[in-house]
Amino acid sequence: MHPILKLVIQRLALGLLLLLAISAVIFLGVEALPGDTAQAILGQSATPQALANLREQMGLNDPALTRYFHWLGGVVTGDLGKSLTNGTDIATAIGQRLGNTLFLAGCAAVIAVPLALTLGLIAARYAGKWPDKLISAVTLTTISLPEFVAAYFVIYLLTQVFPIFQPVAMVFPGMGFWAKLNAVALPVIVLVMVVLAHMMRMTRAAILNVMQSAYIETAELKGVPPMQVIWRHAFPNAIAPIVQVVVLNLAYLVVGVVVVEVVFGYNALGQYLVDHVTKRDLPVVQAVGLVFAAVYIGLNIFADVVAIIANPRLRHPK
């Protein structure tokens, strides 16, 4: 078997084990919350008999381990089950909202990745000088702000001081592309602010590390322009760590947008998860958590494979 294929299979097997462990952690976490779905549906004024009847009807009286393995068996066969609160098919609901999450993440990535790489290259070119210091200061300031603070700041600035956008990111089926793009402009700006610094700093660090190599010094002695040295000689050899941090931030754009989606009222997976956590709807919480975990683990595996392919020392560790 080819060494890279073997490594990919090993990573996939480890990823499946991690998914299994994550599903158990999510189940235990929701079980530990006070109250249950029946209480959330009927309210605090419900009689004990009404609660007991509803719990029996929803299967909440079954042992926790039985409910967990019943749900896990459904996932293996492709059945995510139905919501306990409204009876809708969870897979269908997730499919409708996953597209919105991916659209938001994709828009942020299209802006953040090229911008971060460009700023990283400029910072490396002028390392220690004012462009480097200015870029680092601005990006580190944006990443230091909690997401909700950055979101409310952007809302105030671009809806009150400069009334350009609407504060709520309302999207609906059949909405035109440009209208949808306008609706998600504010959350995209916030997400770009959040992930930009990580990618920029890693690009800068990777380029500066490669710039210490002998072949870079040779190119400089031959009179190759500085930016050409960075772009044609340093960047290709620094691609592995850059790709890894880019992929990890892409994973964050998919699974870490819960706060941003809630602040802007964006109808996607993060909002769907929060709504059903408050209702103690265990099947929905588990399913969405598993989707997020699968995306994050899958992109991490992709980053590992890219690093292995790009670095011969990782392909032949012995």
Amino acid 114: pLDDT = 92
Residue with the two structure tokens 């059945």: 79
User: Is residue 69 included in any domain, yes or no?
Assistant: no
Q: With both helix axes pointing from N to C terminus, report the angle between 90-125 and 282-310 in degrees, rounded to the nearest 10.
A: 40
Tens place of pLDDT per residue across the chain (318 aa): 677 777 778 888 888 898 889 888 888 887 777 666 676 666 666 677 777 777 777 677 777 788 888 878 888 887 787 787 777 888 888 888 888 888 999 999 999 999 998 998 888 888 888 888 999 888 888 888 888 888 888 999 888 888 888 888 888 777 888 888 888 999 999 999 888 888 898 888 888 888 877 777 787 777 888 778 877 777 777 777 788 888 888 888 888 788 888 888 888 888 888 888 877 777 888 888 888 888 888 888 888 777 777 666 555 555
Amino acid 171: pLDDT = 81
Q: By residue range, what is the domain housing residue 113?
A: 90-315
Q: Indicate the burial class of 264 (C-beta count within 10 angstroms; 0-12, 13-18, 19 or more).
A: buried
Q: What DSSP string describes 188-237? A: HHHHHHHHHHHHHHHHHHHHHHHTTSHHHHHHHHTT--HHHIIIIIIHHH
Amino acid 317: pLDDT = 53
Q: What is the CATH number of the domain that holds 230?
A: 1.10.3720.10
User: Is residue 150 included in any domain, yes or no?
Assistant: yes
Amino acid 111: pLDDT = 93
- Rounded distance between C-alpha atoms, residue 198 and residue 194, angstroms: 8
Query: In angstroms, what CA-CA distances link 71 with 98, 135, 195, 308?
Result: 21, 49, 35, 36
φ and ψ of 63, to 5 deg: -60, 145
Q: Whose CA is closest to 95, among 272, 260, 214?
A: 272
User: Is residue 141 included in any domain, yes or no?
Assistant: yes
Reported as a single tens digit per residue, the pLDDT across 13-32 is 888 898 889 888 888 887 77
- Angle (nearest 5°) at CA 160 between 156 and 161: 90
Query: In angstroms, what CA-CA distances link 110 with 18, 113, 255, 267, 307?
Result: 29, 6, 17, 21, 22
User: Is residue 180 included in any domain, yes or no?
Assistant: yes
The helix or strand, by DSSP H or E, that contains position 77, with its residue range, turns out to be none
User: Is residue 17 included in any domain, yes or no?
Assistant: no
Name the domain count of the chain.
Answer: 1
- Rounded distance between C-alpha atoms, residue 201 and residue 207, angstroms: 10
User: Is residue 63 included in any domain, yes or no?
Assistant: no
Q: Whose CA is closest to 54, among 35, 70, 41?
A: 41
Under a CB-based contact definition with an 8 Å cutoff, are residues 163 and 156 in contact? Answer: no
Amino acid 309: pLDDT = 73
Amino acid 78: pLDDT = 78
User: Is residue 14 included in any domain, yes or no?
Assistant: no
Amino acid 110: pLDDT = 93
- Rounded distance between C-alpha atoms, residue 29 and residue 26, angstroms: 5
Q: What DSSP string describes 18-44? A: HHHHHHHHHHHHHHHSSS-HHHHHH-T
User: Is residue 28 included in any domain, yes or no?
Assistant: no
Amino acid 280: pLDDT = 75
Amino acid 107: pLDDT = 92
Under a CB-based contact definition with an 8 Å cutoff, are residues 182 and 196 in contact? Answer: no
